[in-house]
Amino acid sequence: MSEPKVIYLKDYQPPAFAIEQTQLNFDIGPDSVIVSSRLRVVPCGSDTDLVLQGENLTTLAVSLDGVPVDAARMTETESTLTVRGIDSACWLETRVAIDPWGNSSLEGLYKSRTMFCTQCEAEGFRKITWFLDRPDVLSVYTTRVEADKSDCPILLSNGNCINRGDLSDGRHFAEWHDPHPKPSYLFALVAGDLECVTDEFVTVSGRRVVIEVYVEPKDLDKCAHAIASLKRAMRWDEEKYGREYDLDCYMIVAVDDFNMGAMENKGLNIFNTSCVLAHPATTTDAGFQRVEAVVAHEYFHNWSGNRVTCRDWFQLSLKEGFTVYRDACFSADMNSATVKRIEDVNLLRSAQFAEDAGPLAHAVRPASFIEISNFYTLTIYEKGAEIVRMLANMLGPETFRQATDRYFERFDGQAVTCDDFLSVMEEVSGRDLSRFARWYSQAGTPVIDVQDEYNAESQIYRMTLRQSCRPTPETPDKQPFHIPVRIGLLGEAGALALYCDQLATQELADNTDVVLELTDTEQTFVFTRVPERPVPSLCRNFSAPVHVRYPYDEPALVQLLARDDDLFNRWQASQEIAIRHIAAELDGNPLSMDRWTGALEQCLADAALDSAVMAELLHLPTMSYLIDRLEGHDVLALHAARKTVEEKLAIALKPRLHKALQAYHPPAQYQPEAGQIARRSLRNVAARLCVIAGWEQAADWIEAQVRAATNMTDQLAALRMSLLLPDADVSARCLDYFFQQWSHEALVVNQWLAVQAADERGDTLVRLQRLTETAGFQWGNPNKVRALVGTFAGQNYPQFHRNDGQGYQWLADVVGKLDQSNPQLASRLVTPLTRWKQYGARGTAMRNALQGLAGQDLSRDLYEVVHKAL
Ligand code: 0A1
Ligand code: ZN
């Protein structure tokens, strides 16, 4: 294909026309959908050529103020419709035919199983009708939908239903009006045979909001958790941000075929079934927490995204980073805050750091893109959220709240930029954030090297922080970042009081925990009255998205693991110790496990320590993080070393873990609440390690669990453990049993597929290929493809990286095929191959697989990723 066009932030121009009103009519027939649109178009300047976007539309009619537009006055191309000579406000009407049945891209209007639904973010609205499909064109929508009443008894769109009724020939209609001006990416429509669970929420000012969750009839018993989560989120946003809901009705629709987690369309969220349905028998604790988090995320967008939206797609993190920060704080409040932080940091360090270190690295506010769908990334979302978190921490809770209040008030109903967000933070706090703003424009993960020096005589402790950041494609030369580094100093008897003339007394308020703001390449902080050589506790609670390097010895790390008063850093220390052991194993000089396991045993014996945190302390660093940290080692050697260390750890801790396992008694009734979740997670990690340690009863115990567990958390954990057993017959029986039990539950079958895709034993590839040919698998369903292909390529290191390169080739073949039906999915799945530079000699085979793809006719999505990676 010819090289697709690159779009640059620097080229941004405000729209030449406003569309004040948008009136749509959808006529859903048996084999076509006709979309009629009436747009109130108003010129904003002197430009009189109106250029609308469209894709895969069959244009049937175009008229201006009721008069057909003659051919000489307009030009239609594959992707644009230009109408010339519009010099005053007018009504532009178009009529197009679209084909939701043939739309496998899951963007625009498409058919998922028995229903019609839409996905318009980022640029899907242009697949529905001719429009100024850009986020800075805000319009008031009225939408009429008409369809056969028995096929589509439910007809939904944004806002409030203002009219509905029956028509002739068994058809009916519904008319919706959304009073809030919105960009086209927030438009939604659903038509189908769905059932509804309803509830109600009374807002802080006493307004009643009807809550409706629409699902297929078989899923009616799986909506309660989403509804309860939504109500908690609505209350939380009122209390924490002063944000109230603004329509009479809040609807959620569950869709099976969906490219992402969910979508925040105004008043009508559309959810991937995996992010909304939950039931103890079919959903794990992690699944329940994900539903809670995604429901909250989409709800929070109502203000951070919908009421205040993005000026252009380069500002995507304005809504996504802020909203992820908001949902993370919500989840932390609802569950274990430390575990939530550990999970988020794990994700960031495993996946976002890798993104930032690879060929697709981009700034949180990128400078250019080819296909915006490729920029729904960990950098925009998770790193964007870290930026907001740093701001919130630097401003403190009261000032941050004042700033967010002012932001929402000032920009309500507008499409704005990351700079607008920062300028409010600056204005309210009175702080200079000019250097901080570089977090938005410079890609890459900064590294902070910490050096210290202690003088026992003068009791002076000097800490020098030096920052650096590797070049990335768009920003080869970096300016220093503004980095808040929260630290404490540990003495023999605990946290030391901190005295530092360079810090305001207020920052030393609690005296044992301070934030050092690193704004230059290098700064030294001097602490006085330090009575002994301390162990520094650095970047507490992960105060900034950076790598921190300090020459700890193992006793110091063990001290942090055992006694740091920052719980997050206890976990951090444990990860650091594990990395050392794995590195030593790789070098052929294994370290003694005694100190590490001794500290962990103490933790296990500590009744005051949250079991959920304890469970995290027993997890080794992820492979992805290890690849980043222990550069230059072969991935299979690294994987083997990790396994060896895990086994040694398991053997050393076996007696205590056994005790923990036996001390566990299942609750009378399953609840997805923090206490129970914590106990289950410790129990299942303990069981897993016992299996690894060669527990004699493992096979019987696992099989019994798979057959008798009363909740999906325990059942799935046992199923996964079965793959660790030497006897493949046991796991085969477990997998069979599990499938027989759950073959009617699509989401559980996906878990079953994922378990097999992660199987490190034998010829996984042959088994997976066979699975793709069975009835439980459909290439058109992204959840299934992700479960099978995504898990294989992203998590199954020994099989994906097998020596014959067949893992890579299989992925490339799958991606090439998928690109023809669903480009967004294809370009996401290819990610593991783009990291080829990290894999030394194996990288060549990975690169060859990519090269094979580059020779094909690719979508814009896949083209951008493959070509940037090569
Ligand atoms: N805005 C949604 C994510 C989303 C993005 C793109 C989609 O289709 C291509 C769908 C959803 C969110 O942040 O939840
Ligand atoms: Zn979002």
Would 424 be classed as within a structural domain? yes
Going from the C-alpha of 789 to that of each of 144, 468, 648, 833, the distances in angstroms are 40, 37, 31, 13
Q: Is 212 among the residues known to form the active site? A: no
Q: Alpha helices, DSSP H only, in 709-745?
A: 712-722, 728-742
Whether residues 474 and 609 fall in one domain: no
Domain CATH for 515: 2.60.40.1840
With a 6 A CB cut-off, is 264 part of the ligand 1 pocket? yes
Q: Whose CA is nearest to atom 13 of ligand 1?
A: 320
Domain CATH for 202: 2.60.40.1730
Residue-wise pLDDT for 108-129, tens only, equals 999 999 999 999 999 999 999 9
Would 1 be classed as within a structural domain? no
Phi, psi of 461 (to 5 degrees): -120, 120
Closest CA to 467 of 457, 481, 454: 481
Is the confidence at residue 582, as pLDDT, over 90? Answer: yes
Whether residues 258 and 379 fall in one domain: no
Range 259-264 average pLDDT: 98
Q: Choose the catalytic residue: 123, 298, 343, 745.
A: 298
Q: Whose CA is nearest to atom 5 of ligand 1?
A: 121
Would 413 be classed as within a structural domain? yes
Among 185, 376, 380, 827, say which to mutate for ligand 1: greatest number of ligand atoms within 8 Å of CB: 376
Among 252, 263, 266, 316, say which to mutate for ligand 1: greatest number of ligand atoms within 8 Å of CB: 263
With a 6 A CB cut-off, is 564 part of the ligand 1 pocket? no
Would 318 be classed as within a structural domain? no
Is the confidence at residue 550, as pLDDT, over 80? Answer: yes
- Average pLDDT score, the chain: 97
Map residue 57 onto helix, strand or coil: coil
Report the b/e string of 519-544 with b at 16+ CB within 10 A: eeeebebebeebeeebbbbbbbbbbb
Whether residues 746 and 789 fall in one domain: yes
Contact between residue 291 and residue 274 where contact means Cβ atoms under 8 Å apart: no
Domain boundary among 488, 514, 545: 545
Q: Cα of 259 to ligand 1 centre, how many Å?
A: 8
Name the residue range of residue 851's domain: 558-869
Q: Cα of 263 to ligand 1 centre, how many Å?
A: 5
Q: Cα of 258 to ligand 1 centre, how many Å?
A: 10
pLDDT score, position 511: 85
CA-CA distance, 826 to 812, in Å (whole number)?
10
Is the confidence at residue 70, as pLDDT, over 90? Answer: yes
Element (H, E) at 28: strand 17-28
Whether residues 54 and 122 fall in one domain: yes
In this structure, the dihedral spanned by the alpha carbons of residues 736, 740, 744 and 749, taken in order and rounded to 10 degrees, is -10
With a 6 A CB cut-off, is 701 part of the ligand 1 pocket? no
Whether residues 269 and 244 fall in one domain: yes
Domain CATH for 580: 1.25.50.10
pLDDT score, position 507: 56
Q: Cα of 306 to ligand 2 centre, how many Å?
A: 10
Q: Whose CA is nearest to atom 4 of ligand 1?
A: 263
pLDDT score, position 775: 83
Range 156-163 average pLDDT: 98
Would 728 be classed as within a structural domain? yes
Whether residues 521 and 567 fall in one domain: no
Domain boundary among 271, 300, 329: 300
CA-CA distance, 830 to 815, in Å (whole number)?
6
Is the confidence at residue 681, as pLDDT, over 90? Answer: yes
Range 296-306 average pLDDT: 99
Say how many C-beta atoms besides its own lie within 10 A of residue 832's C-beta: 22
Would 596 be classed as within a structural domain? yes
Map residue 758 onto helix, strand or coil: coil
Whether residues 154 and 290 fall in one domain: yes
With a 6 A CB cut-off, is 119 part of the ligand 1 pocket? yes
Show Cβ contacts of residue 408 under 8 Å, excluding neighbours closer than 6 positions: 241, 243, 303, 307, 308
CA-CA distance, 832 to 814, in Å (whole number)?
13
Element (H, E) at 557: helix 554-563
Within a 13 Å sphere around the CA of 555, how many CA atoms are in the beta-carbon half? 3
Residue-wise pLDDT for 265-299, tens only, equals 999 999 999 999 999 999 999 999 999 999 999 99
Domain boundary among 280, 300, 320: 300
Whether residues 234 and 291 fall in one domain: yes
Ordered strands of the 249-255 beta sheet: 195-202, 208-215, 249-255, 268-272, 262-263
pLDDT score, position 508: 58
CA-CA distance, 488 to 446, in Å (whole number)?
21
pLDDT band at 505 (very low <50, low <70, confident <90, very high): low
Whether residues 532 and 577 fall in one domain: no
Q: Cα of 140 to ligand 2 centre, how many Å?
A: 22
pLDDT band at 474 (very low <50, low <70, confident <90, very high): confident
CA-CA distance, 120 to 834, in Å (whole number)?
28
Q: Alpha helices, DSSP H only, in 361-520?
A: 378, 384-395, 397-411, 418-429, 438-441
**Encoded tokens for 554:** 């193992």
Show Cβ contacts of residue 203 under 8 Å, excluding neighbours closer than 6 positions: 209, 234, 238, 244, 245
Share of the chain above pLDDT 70, in %: 99
pLDDT band at 321 (very low <50, low <70, confident <90, very high): very high
Q: Whose CA is nearest to atom 12 of ligand 1?
A: 263
Closest CA to 298 of 254, 334, 332: 254
Among 117, 121, 297, 324, say which to mutate for ligand 1: greatest number of ligand atoms within 8 Å of CB: 121
Q: Cα of 323 to ligand 1 centre, how many Å?
A: 12
Q: Whose CA is nearest to atom 3 of ligand 1?
A: 263
With a 6 A CB cut-off, is 819 part of the ligand 1 pocket? no
Residue-wise pLDDT for 783-792, tens only, equals 999 999 999 9
Of 97-101, 659-663, 808-812, give the lowest mean pLDDT range. 659-663
Q: Whose CA is nearest to atom 8 of ligand 1?
A: 121
Would 462 be classed as within a structural domain? yes
Q: Cα of 264 to ligand 2 centre, how many Å?
A: 7
With a 6 A CB cut-off, is 121 part of the ligand 1 pocket? yes
Would 535 be classed as within a structural domain? yes
Residue-wise pLDDT for 507-516, tens only, equals 555 689 999 9
With a 6 A CB cut-off, is 327 part of the ligand 1 pocket? no
Tally of domains in the chain:
3
Q: Whose CA is nearest to atom 9 of ligand 1?
A: 121
Ligand 1 atom index nearest CA of 298:
14
Closest CA to 835 of 674, 649, 639, 631: 631
Contact between residue 331 and residue 340 where contact means Cβ atoms under 8 Å apart: yes
Among 109, 117, 184, 260, say which to mutate for ligand 1: greatest number of ligand atoms within 8 Å of CB: 260
Whether residues 566 and 624 fall in one domain: yes
Whether residues 638 and 665 fall in one domain: yes
With a 6 A CB cut-off, is 263 part of the ligand 1 pocket? yes
pLDDT score, position 695: 95
With a 6 A CB cut-off, is 344 part of the ligand 1 pocket? no
Ligand 1 atom index nearest CA of 305:
1
- Whether the ipTM is more than 0.90: the answer is yes
Whether residues 533 and 569 fall in one domain: no
pLDDT score, position 506: 56
